[in-house]
Structure 1
């Protein structure tokens, strides 16, 4: 490599995106030697090497950008997903709790315990909310209840954070029951054949998560476990970033999870399966019309992904389980739309559409996909919260580029 390199070469050398190089220039972190017409900026190799050495060696005074957040939890590729080096295909069939422990690194004898808290507290808060309160809003209140009842709430140790995650997930499952299956317990007529009935213990967290959710939704336990495992984490999604920012600022485990829930409560994140469901209902009735509209207007909900350019493995694994038992209309419509939109536009079917198919196939409540997604992601949020504990505090500090009026 010569003594002068281009913007693209700088990005490659530092292992960042070209947009990050532009940000370094705008902040004065890196200065170009000159700008070549038609070729962009040229930088001194020595300056870039010094910056690279500084980036790799800095710790206490660091300020994180998306390229600075190193993680050993989840790796996502064009068609792959793995948790701590384990391909998600190899994790299918495991209970959610085993995968959660794999992600958090807190398992075995150190696995989180879920101290009993009065079940009545969760039920009382759920009953006090207005009728029709959305399931994610109920989940937020449930996490508040779980945190309020934990004497170790302000313990910022990995074990305490793991406990916070497990307690929050259990409380959220109770909230799902209040929203979708009755006031804290699965309502009559909502259980499928052979689905387990929840044992009303002293508080949220008296057992594994999948059987509780399965009892509310009337689904097979292994199907719920599959969905939970597939949705457990997804690298630095916006909600996960929110969790890490909160932990960096000194938040306790419950407050960090609330930050994640707040960021996730969006029609383009955890709520995206609802948008996909509304679209898919019509698409099943008229798949050719839905295809024509999509080709003319752009990718419909549930298609396209910024990372998965080949296949979303979560969607494929979930659909392979859901569609064989679904009606022919749903299976045929999904097959047609998936094949045509991938071939003609390169739009990959994603997990939001797979969740929508799950809801349609089993005639579940409209928000069921979002409920399962949010409960599942507590595992990843907890894992990233624990990982962030090892980083310097207050490292996330964006610097705004002021564009308002200036003092004369």
Structure 2
């Protein structure tokens, strides 16, 4: 039988109706195979056709009128969407932005601003003194909240409800919060570089670049509970500081912002010599919520954010050791469950590579997502005030008499 002519990359992308970068994302995640020669990449037409037939989009479930169904509501959003297992910020690929742009460039584009100023030296010093009053038991997110309160208290325009004030305060926090955790911020230093110095346990070449990519990848991701909290506060016309505080309240939880902590402990145990199966079993037993760092319902073929961070870690100095640990855990999980690595495992791997605390992934996540909270707040300010005030339906016992 004559072999079918192979498809070029352009032809395969056209058949699937996706951009070329989405096509190559499928390849990197093992969802499609390709062959390469002097003329470029080619694809098996039957494999592409089979993939096209089984490809699906994860759509929101119907709104439940009562009971424990989810979601509580479905809101229109023009910020992030997932299409064919690829995350986009508006029309731009998050994977490509993470590889090619800095966090500051992405935020300026997302917020449509040119100026990006942090707090002055006096306000930063006051925030650092506030953080320093916390005891050793304080978590990194405790320190972020303390610094946030300090910055709010020194901003004379904190109650300004304009969109310009929202992004001005957001820039102040994005630059100020990492600096409040670090000893000092060098002149012209990037947000990622300051955060890397605040979190890393040892110097590593390329550390700031990896943190920068992670910050970009976590900017937004559908309507997570922290993002919904931010929008509810914005619907009530809270200030930027109130909105970020509300969002952090929902973020500072084991099922959301802290989810990478258990994954970091699991990876650290394997790195120290514990068999992957034993480390996974301990993590499941201690956490009680499944395998930490695995599973993401919004993707059919795996969390692309984890794929991008893994690829970047693999090319970093010394990254092969950490990636080896991640791959060993991933292979063991695959033998027992249909679950793929998610963002939390990637953030845990970054923390392991940088010799950071187990909670470091939550800090990177919070700083990056702050940019998304502010973008959502600006969008919500353009909507009718208090539109996100739902009505309750009483389902308790009937009134006596």
Tell me the TM-score normalized by structure 1.
Answer: 0.73
> Which 10-residue stretch deviates more, 151-160 or 338-347?
338-347
Asked if the contact 1:271/1:370 (under 8 Å) is kept, the reply is: yes
Aligned residue runs from structure 1 range 4-403, under 5 A: 17-18=61-62, 20=63, 22-23=64-65, 66-67=73-74, 69-77=75-83, 79-91=85-97, 92-104=99-111, 106-108=112-114, 111-116=115-120, 118=122, 119-177=124-182, 184-185=183-184, 198-199=185-186, 207-216=189-198, 217=200, 218-219=203-204, 220-284=207-271, 285-290=274-279, 299-324=290-315, 325-326=317-318, 330-342=322-334, 345-403=337-395
Deviation at 1:338, TM superposition (A): 2.1
1:351 to 1:210, Cα distance in 2 relative to 1, 3 A: same
Q: RMSD of the alignment, in Å?
A: 2.7
How many Å apart are 1:310 and its aligned residue?
A: 0.8
Residues 96 and 367 of structure 1, relative CA distance in 2, 3 Å threshold: same
CA contact (8 A) 2:82 2:88 kept: yes
Question: Secondary structure at 2:100's aligned position in 1?
Answer: coil
Deviations 1:168-218 (A, max 9, x none): 1222213332xxxxxx34xxxxxxxxxxxx33x7xxxx6531121122324
Structure (1 or 2) with the larger CA radius of gyration = 1
Distance in 2 separating the partners of 1:170 and 1:138: 15
Deviation at 1:327, TM superposition (A): 6.5
CA, structure 1 residues 333+115, in 2 after alignment: closer, same or farther (shift >3 Å)?
A: closer
Residue 398 (structure 2) aligned to one of 386, 397, 406: 406
Judging changes above 3 Å, is the alpha-carbon distance between structure 1 residues 295 and 377 closer, same or farther for their aligned structure 2 residues? closer
Unaligned runs of 5+ in 2: 1-58
Superposed displacement of residue 114, structure 1: 3.4
Query: C-alpha offsets along residues 232-281 of structure 1, whole Å, 9 cap, x if unaligned?
Result: 11121100100000010120111101111111001121111111111222
Aligned pairs, how many?
327
CA distance in 1, matches of 2:106, 2:319: 31
CA shift at 1:164, angstroms? 1.1
State the distance in 2 between where 1:128 and 1:292 align. 38
Deviation at 1:403, TM superposition (A): 2.9
